[in-house]
Structure 1
Amino acid sequence: MTAFRLSPVFATLALAATLGACGQQQPAPEQTPAAAPATAPAATPAAAPAGAPRAVASPRDTARASLAGHMVMVDYGRPFMRGRAIMGGLVPYGQVWRTGANAATTLVTARDISISGTRIPAGTYTLYTLPGERDWQLIVNRQTGQWGTEYKQEQDLARIPLRMERTAAPVEQFTIQLQPSGTGLNLVMEWENTRLVAPVQPAA
């Protein structure tokens, strides 16, 4: 069989074309710009533990008032009765209650205050209560930012008696108010047929 030979001219042209193709720079792949960092979510009092009820069932609310020119605020969850027995049932007597729902109920005061004669320095606190059939106590606790059922007694700043009354009509949704009263305020909590009151004054 006769061997096929390229002519020198054709071989030179073929080699040049091959080298040109190899040396041609390929376009760089399009670079995808780095994603902008997501905006940080709004701060929340506490992360819900697994199995916690949805917050929509107990929306957050805030009671605010000015005391001697300084802000006092209570942030809390507002559960509904929804046909349930509340006092002595959903809220057992003799056990510390989160005083609301979901994340812990938070008290913020921009100045030193007095609650029923007990001095509370300016700052942020968690409010719990200790329910009783005939008397209640307000618990001011130094731990903050936790889920409402996380209670540490060693962090208590004070336990303060609450005046207990009966509401004129059932209150479907748990409510906290800071009502003006003379030179101070009344901290008022209402749910079902129970009304709890504590006077709040500027600390001397």
Structure 2
Amino acid sequence: MKNLLKLSFLFVALLGASSLSAQKFGGLDKSPADIASYPTSYKDANKIVKIVYSRPQLKGRDLETLAPSGKVWRTGANEATEITFYKDVTFGNKKVSAGTYSLFTIPGETEWTLILNKNLNQWGAYSYENAADVVRVQGKVSKGSESLEAFSIAFNDVEGGAELVMGWGTARITTPIKS
């Protein structure tokens, strides 16, 4: 009886171990997730804003194909980009309450429209609803001296706050954030 119990225990242990080793993990995402925050120093825990987004690559394609002018874009890849303000701010020229929002954009030639939307956990812009928009502001378009293969978001220090900068290819889109 003791041998049967030991054998049963061994069988269950081996079965459990084989199912653990059989776990399959996905490969690396083609558009990896990234985070940009301001202040940018990792030593400064008193953040004003954080953006979580995925970074699509151009891979020989042009920006207009991937983020068409005049159409709502998820501002990255995969899930819609999310922006969290840890305190009330002025985003562009509009007052925004602390909280988390989806960030959509509408690309344009000289300006992009940046949209904060209250619907979270959206995949792309497929379920985007403009009725859930909190604010829309304009971002200025300029041309960078180098081409960025991967869509990127960063912050620059400016007088009175920060400047949100989005870049892809040679396009640079800037919008001020003041707390």
Name the TM tier (shorter chain).
0.7 to 0.9
- Structure 1: tracts of 5 or more residues without a match: 1-24, 39-53
In structure 2, the residue matched to 1:128 is 104
Trace 1:100-139 onto structure 2 (pairs within 5 A).
100-139=76-115
| Residue matched to 1:60 | 33
Whether the 8 Å contact between 1:79 and 1:100 is mirrored in structure 2 is: yes
CA distance in structure 2 between the partners assigned to 1:80 and 1:118 by the alignment: 31
What is the RMSD of the two structures over their aligned residues, measured on CA atoms?
A: 2.5
Summarize the alignment of residues 112-191 of structure 1 with structure 2, pairs less than 5 Å apart: 112-150=88-126, 151-191=128-168
Q: What is the CA-CA distance between 1:28 and the residue it aligns to?
A: 8.7
* In structure 2, C-alpha distance between the alignment counterparts of 1:94 and 1:84, rounded to whole Å: 18
C-alpha distance in 2, partners of 1:55/1:71? Answer: 30
Point out 4+ residue stretches in structure 1 off by more than 2 angstroms: 27-33
Who is 1:96 aligned against?
72
Q: Is the 8 A contact 2:69 2:108 kept in 1?
A: yes
**Number of equivalences:** 159
> Identity over the aligned pairs, expressed in percent?
33
Distance change (3 Å), C-alpha of 1:55 and 1:179: farther
| Contact 1:71–1:110 (Cα < 8 Å) also in 2 | yes
Q: Distance in 1 between matches of 2:36 and 2:94?
A: 21
1 CA distance for matches of 2:83 and 2:149?
23
After superposition, the Cα gap between the structure-2 partners of 1:193 and 1:70, relative to the gap in structure 1 and judged at 3 Å, is closer
- Does structure 2 conserve the Cα–Cα contact (< 8 Å) formed by 1:138 and 1:161? yes
Q: Kindly indicate which of the two structures has a greater share of residues assigned to helix.
A: 2
- Report the alpha carbon displacement of residue 152 of structure 1 after superposing the two structures with TM: 1.4
Tell me if the contact between 1:55 and 1:102 (Cα under 8 Å) persists in the aligned partners.
no
Change over 3 Å in CA distance of 1:70–1:171 after alignment to 2: closer
Unaligned ranges ≥5, structure 2: 21-26, 41-45
Instruction: Calculate the TM-score normalised by the size of structure 2.
Output: 0.79
3-state SS of 2:131 partner: helix
CA distance in 2 between counterparts of 1:58 and 1:144 reads 20
SS in structure 2 at match of 1:126: strand
Separation in 2 of the partners of 1:104 and 1:63?
15
Give the alignment's TM-score, normalised by structure 1: 0.70
CA contact (8 A) 2:37 2:47 kept: no
Deviation at 1:71, TM superposition (A): 3.3
1:192 corresponds, among 169, 174, 178, to: 169
Counterpart-to-counterpart distance in 2, 1:132 and 1:183: 27
